[in-house]
Homo-oligomer: A and B are copies of this chain.
């Protein structure tokens, strides 16, 4: 499956590839990984294609065989890495367990599948650079956020009905996600001044949210 024009995302995990296709997909991934490193460290504007190439161990021109331009590289990076998370969260919604258990799973999901992976950096990039990439913001909203929030709403509504969660949460699922955002941002900027125990933060948050209330 040759890539005639280097534009749309390429699933690097497609099965049954020719050796050629596998090599191509691998290269692509190497470039994306290098791009993530550089974009994360420098931001979009300050990242030089030269540096991405160097980090990927290839020539500068080669990047342009895989991605149309710098912007395209950036956008595909975000797309490629963010889509998969949604499934896990929707799975959470479908599990029928008490809030106490769910809550724990949420923490694990966030910490293990996002915060301690490169996804954390991708999310930070998205949040911070998104403004200048409206298409990207839209994609992110449509394909990621709105689906995550829909799942959360379903889950929280059910919990509220059972008296396991305050009703306000179903209206503002952002409140559930807020500390995750804090963690992501904090880790980029302030960790060196004051490290943040993210798992404890998340736990504390969920405990407060889902504590049993009087009346």
Measured CB to CB, the residues of A under 8 A from B are 41-46, 127-132, 137-138, 140-142, 145-146, 166, 168-169, 171-172, 174-175, 177-179, 181-182, 185-186, 188-190, 193-194, 196, 200-201, 204-205, 207-209, 211-215
* Min C-beta distance of A134 to chain B, whole Å: 8
Partner of A178 from B129, B140, B179 at Cβ < 8 Å: B179
Beyond the given A166-B207, A172-B204, A212-B215, please list 12 additional residue pairs across the A-B interface where CB-CB is below 8 A: A43-B44, A43-B45, A128-B129, A131-B189, A137-B190, A141-B194, A146-B193, A166-B208, A172-B200, A178-B181, A181-B185, A214-B215
The answer on a CB contact under 8 Å between A193 and B138 is yes
The docked-state distance in angstroms from the alpha carbon of A205 to that of B168 is 8
Partner of A214 from B45, B186, B212 at Cβ < 8 Å: B212
Partner of A174 from B172, B196, B207 at Cβ < 8 Å: B196
The answer on a CB contact under 8 Å between B182 and A174 is yes
Residues on B with beta carbons closer than 8 Å to the beta carbon of A204? 168-169, 171-172, 175
